[in-house]
Amino acid sequence: MLKKISIRVRLTVLSILTLIVCCVGLTIILNISANRMADVIEATPIIPALEINKESTAQTPPPISMIPLSPSKESQIARTNFLYQSILYMLLVVATGGGITYFVSGKALVPLRELSNQMKNRTIHNLSEDLPVPVSNDEIADLTGSFNQMSNKLDEAFAMQKRFSQSAAHELRTPLTVLKTKVDVFNKKKEHTADEYDKLLSVITTHTDRLAELVMDLLDLTNMDALDCNEQIELKALLSDITQELAPLAWEKNIVVTVEGTEKDVPGNKSLLHRAFYNLIENAINYNTEYGEVHIRVEDASGQGLVTISDTGIGIPTELQELIFEPFFRVDKSRSRQMGGAGLGLATVKTIIEKHNGSVTVSTNEVGGSCFTIQI
């Protein structure tokens, strides 16, 4: 129930409760000490008699003691009046304190209410516009700053989601359009030769394979959560194996691939890491020039595995280096498509490396090629 009450009322109730506890304590203490004082005032002093037969000058006077008397009627009335008055003042203090708290908290919460109204007016269309941060260096300014940061991130996420849906739709539409056109043309003729059947089947197979691959890649991007990442993996051995697998592709383009550095074991999922490094090395060969080179290096960076894959290829423009990890993003669309890539390779690499609590970045190396740095 308390959750449904506004902060203003909650603050008032809390301050009233605090005031009640303090005032009741104070009233009790005041009444006890007032009663004690009245008892002392009303007590009769008793002075013991001096013995006459002794030399009175040499004697020290005996201590005076007080005899408590039962309170008189007037005293009882005064005590009761004091009790009632102190209770009345206590109630007055509590009521005034509660009222002041209600008023002051209402004033203090005005900026919060204004901020809440501004937040309510945020929609998907104005998420990138920052709310004005108050000049006061207080919690409201902090909250506004955090809200601005969050809505900027949301705006980025929405933009990315939009790009993703557009690209996915485009990628899926292309093979479907080809298939539909081919089938329509085929249907226009009544009779077909065996060669025409073969050609149609070959087109259907190529494009359905492409569609299946695309759908599998998309599913893989989102289905990695359940996989175990606790195997011990020798990075250098894994990279050497992948280089062997890709040797025919490298030979085709006369590209030399080298693996150097130290042995480094990292915990992870072998098949996922194999896939990530396979994609990176395959790209380093694909986007390379004839007689180019790919240098792979493994290092131990303060306990973490550090892998660099550097090539002598075409490189990636600096302004696009962040974007290439987005699904379906390709620098040169026609060239990548020729190589059969849908632009999901690096997005998969990023997802896999992040699943291993690592990071992947790209930069341009000294010969203008790309250098991917992976930290796990």
Q: How many angstroms separate the Cα of 300 from the Cα of each of 57, 232, 235? A: 102, 15, 10
Q: Report which residue type is found at 264.
A: K
In whole angstroms, the minimum distance from the beta carbon of 218 to ligand ADP comes to 13
- Nearest Cα to Cα of residue 200 among 223, 184, 211, 215: 184
Measured from the CB atom, the residue of 23 and 311 that comes closer to ligand ADP is 311
Report if residue 167 touches ligand ADP, rule: CB under 6 A: no
Measured from the CB atom, the residue of 15 and 351 that comes closer to ligand ADP is 351
In whole angstroms, the minimum distance from the beta carbon of 207 to ligand ADP comes to 17
- Using CA atoms, how far apart are residues 150 and 144, in angstroms rounded to an integer? 10
- Using CA atoms, how far apart are residues 100 and 94, in angstroms rounded to an integer? 10
Q: Please pick, from the candidates 238, 255, 342, 353, the single residue that binds ligand ADP as defined by CB under 6 A.
A: 342
In whole angstroms, the minimum distance from the beta carbon of 206 to ligand ADP comes to 17
Measured from the CB atom, the residue of 15 and 310 that comes closer to ligand ADP is 310
Measured from the CB atom, the residue of 192 and 253 that comes closer to ligand ADP is 253
In whole angstroms, the minimum distance from the beta carbon of 297 to ligand ADP comes to 15
Measured from the CB atom, the residue of 246 and 324 that comes closer to ligand ADP is 324
Of the ranges 126-134, 153-161, 251-259, 326-334, which one interacts with ligand ADP (CB under 6 A)? 326-334
Report if residue 168 touches ligand ADP, rule: CB under 6 A: no
Measured from the CB atom, the residue of 12 and 283 that comes closer to ligand ADP is 283
Q: Which residues contact 300 (CB under 8 A, 6 or more apart)?
A: 262, 264, 306
Other beta carbons less than 10 A from residue 260's beta carbon: 12
Determine the residue with CB nearest ligand ADP: 341
In whole angstroms, the minimum distance from the beta carbon of 330 to ligand ADP comes to 3
Report if residue 331 touches ligand ADP, rule: CB under 6 A: yes
Q: Which two tokens stand for residue 337?
A: 């498509």
Site residues for ligand ADP, 239-298, by CB under 6 A, read 279, 283-284, 287
Number of residues in contact with ligand ADP under rule CB under 6 A: 23
Contact (CB, 8 A) for 331 and 370: no
Of the ranges 60-68, 109-117, 298-306, 308-316, which one interacts with ligand ADP (CB under 6 A)? 308-316
- Using CA atoms, how far apart are residues 323 and 102, in angstroms rounded to an integer? 52
Angle, CA of 300, 306 and 307, to the nearest 5°: 130
Positive or negative, the CA dihedral 103, 109, 110, 111 is: positive
Report if residue 346 touches ligand ADP, rule: CB under 6 A: yes
Is 299 exposed, middle or buried (CB count within 10 Å of its CB: 0-12, 13-18, 19+)?
Answer: middle
- Using CA atoms, how far apart are residues 225 and 251, in angstroms rounded to an integer? 36
Contact (CB, 8 A) for 285 and 257: yes
Residues contributing to the site for ligand ADP (CB under 6 A): 279, 283-284, 287, 311, 313-316, 324, 329-332, 336, 341-347, 370
